[in-house]
Chain A
Amino acid sequence: MSALGKAAITGVGMSDIGRNTGRPAIIHLAEAADRALARAGLTRADIDGIATYPGKAENSPGMSPLGTGEVRNALGLQTRWHSAVPDGPAQMAPIMVAAMAVLTGQARHVMCFRALTESSSQTAGRRASIAGAGKAQIGGWMGWLAPVGALSASNWAGWMATRYFHEFGMTREHLGMVATGERRFALMNPAAVMQKPLTMDDYLAARTISSPLGLFDCDIPIDGAAVVIVSAPDAARNCRLAPLEIEAMGSALRSQETWDQRADLTTMGAHDAGADMWCRTSLGPRDVDVLGLYDGFSIFVPMWLEALGFCGHGEAKDFIAEGNIGPGGRFPVNTGGGQLSGGRLHGFGLLYEVCLQLWGEAGARQVANARTGVCGMGGGFIAGSMLIRRD
């Protein structure tokens, strides 16, 4: 990337998220876009590229109600480049391809977006995030899981957690530290959907979803949208805020694209992507001030910590117990409350929060002098990671 300069994040926006908001996805999206443009000091006329993950999807209720077409139409955008990426390094994919697009001159300012209405969809009598439910037949990799009853990602994450517990002696209490720590952050973020304290007793007493994972190990379906604007190096300099340079990205994938075939299920695609990212920069984990790690399920957080080298394989339970990742820790993770307490914007909310931190806009939860952040998106076999920094 160095030969071409560095792409930069110049604006982020999030809509007024919530549970069962009753607001259409496109209204959430337009609100997030307005806020991202205002932060960047740009107008709609400056946006000449658009990207999303996965694109409009009908197979899982509320999971992705908007494609690039609807958003271009609704916002009246005229673009030189557009892309929806269903097969890529997880939810990070559109931001990565946007970085490549601006560095190769396809566009100057790319609006990357993610919109979900899983909460409204669920309230309407359907269960969110259950692909294939209600269908007579199912193909693809879900065709190996759903017919025998492994319908939910909580089942697949449960497999990883059971094996990880078995090999490394992790317990429910360690995951409880992740969940309660993120809740303490959420209490400092007025936009987080969960605003009541969560104690370890609350966590342990909650019903089991798919062992060893309980209710508070699972993220919260919401309605909302987030927008991340990625700009070319020269274009970024004219924006309102200091550009957040994309220092390095990683998207390696060294196992089959199935949730059960990876040889070592105490690792994820994250481990491949993380190693790939660090080989593209002279920076290392010690240089990181703030982290956004995918927490669709709590178990992903320790796995991402290891994947990105913040501790060794099997050491995350101690790293967490030592207080590294919660409020006041050396490596604070998901300072906006994460998806477990803030609400599930499918990775985009985590990157949004890291950006706020690097711009010093994180209010009561601001990490002092945060300059370098890392974000890892995805669980299971897919992952993308990104290192960003403010000069």
Chain B
Amino acid sequence: MLPLPELTRENTPFWTAGERGELVIVFCDDCTHAIHPPQLLCPACQSRNVGPRAVPGTGKIYTFTVNHQPWIPGMDVPFVLAVVDVDGAPGVRVTARLAGCDPEDVRIEQGVRIGFAQSGDVWLPHWHLVAGATA
């Protein structure tokens, strides 16, 4: 069983917006800087006027790895872990578990789309390859 994220004031929007099928990223309302991991103040302009906004829920694979080692009991392997550049949030990357794909098919720069599955009080994102979106 993987640990779930410990919910905080900063990260709760990210881990719960999946209930609405949304990926939310915190932005600064004063300078538009995208802030991830989320913070209570903008690292660029120090504004406290920051908050979560929905982004399209798509992105592009910056890099990935195929994990083959079962690190904990019951872990199904192999699976793909990607780092995804998030559309609509410049400079933001998220760690992304890919679902429903053959690890052999994954490439850098491929397009991905988010989905969610509820686990306890959070909605864990997983990502799917977008057919035909390879750059």
Contacts and interface: CB of A to CB of B under 8 A. Distances in A.
Interface of A: 127, 130, 132-139, 141, 143-152, 154-155, 158-163, 166, 207-213, 256, 258, 260-261, 263, 265
Contacts of A260: 83, 93-95
A258 B91 CA distance: 14
A135 B4 CA distance: 8
A139 B65 contact: no
Contacts of A139: 5-6, 8
Interface string B44-78: 00000000000000000011111111011001001
A169 B118 CA distance: 40
B68 A208 contact: yes
Contacts, number: 122
A155 B3 contact: no
Closest 8 CB pairs of A and B: A158-B65, A139-B6, A163-B63, A138-B3, A211-B66, A148-B97, A137-B6, A159-B63
A154 B78 CA distance: 14
A148 B124 contact: yes
A148 B68 contact: no
A154 B81 CA distance: 11
B37 A141 contact: yes
B68 A211 contact: yes
Contacts of A210: 65-69, 81
A45 to B, nearest CB: 45
Given A155-B67, A208-B78, 20 more contacts: A137-B4, A141-B37, A144-B95, A145-B95, A148-B96, A148-B124, A149-B97, A151-B71, A154-B67, A158-B66, A163-B63, A208-B66, A209-B69, A210-B68, A211-B65, A211-B66, A212-B65, A256-B37, A260-B94, A260-B95
Given A136-B3, A166-B108, A260-B95, A160 B63 contact: yes
Contacts of B79: 149
B19 to A, nearest CB: 16
13 contacts: A130-B71, A133-B3, A146-B3, A147-B122, A148-B81, A148-B96, A149-B75, A150-B97, A154-B67, A162-B64, A166-B108, A209-B67, A211-B65
Interface residues of B, number: 36
Contacts of B72: 127, 130, 133-134, 151
Contacts of A136: 3-4
Q: What is the predominant secondary structure among interface residues of chain B facing chain A?
A: strand
B81 A150 contact: yes
B2 interface: yes
B36 interface: yes
A125 to B, nearest CB: 10
Contacts of B97: 148-150
Interface in B3-20: 3-6, 8, 11
Contact of A265 (B2, B83, B91, B125): B83
Contact of B5 (A147, A152, A155, A213): A147
Which among B67, B68, B75, B122 has the highest number of chain A CB atoms within 10 Å?
B67
Interface of B: 2-6, 8, 11, 36-37, 62-69, 71-72, 75, 78-79, 81, 83, 91, 93-97, 103, 108, 122, 124-126
A154 B69 contact: yes
Contact of B3 (A135, A159, A163, A212): A135
Nearest to B15: A147
B104 to A, nearest CB: 10
Contacts of B93: 260-261
B3 A137 contact: yes
Contacts of B81: 148-150, 155, 158-159, 210
Contact of A159 (B2, B8, B36, B64): B64
Contact of B2 (A151, A209, A256, A258): A151
Given A136-B3, A143-B6, A149-B97, A159 B65 contact: yes
A261 B63 CA distance: 12
Contacts of B65: 154-155, 158-159, 161-162, 210-213
A261 B124 contact: no
A149 B62 contact: no
B85 to A, nearest CB: 11
B63 A162 contact: yes
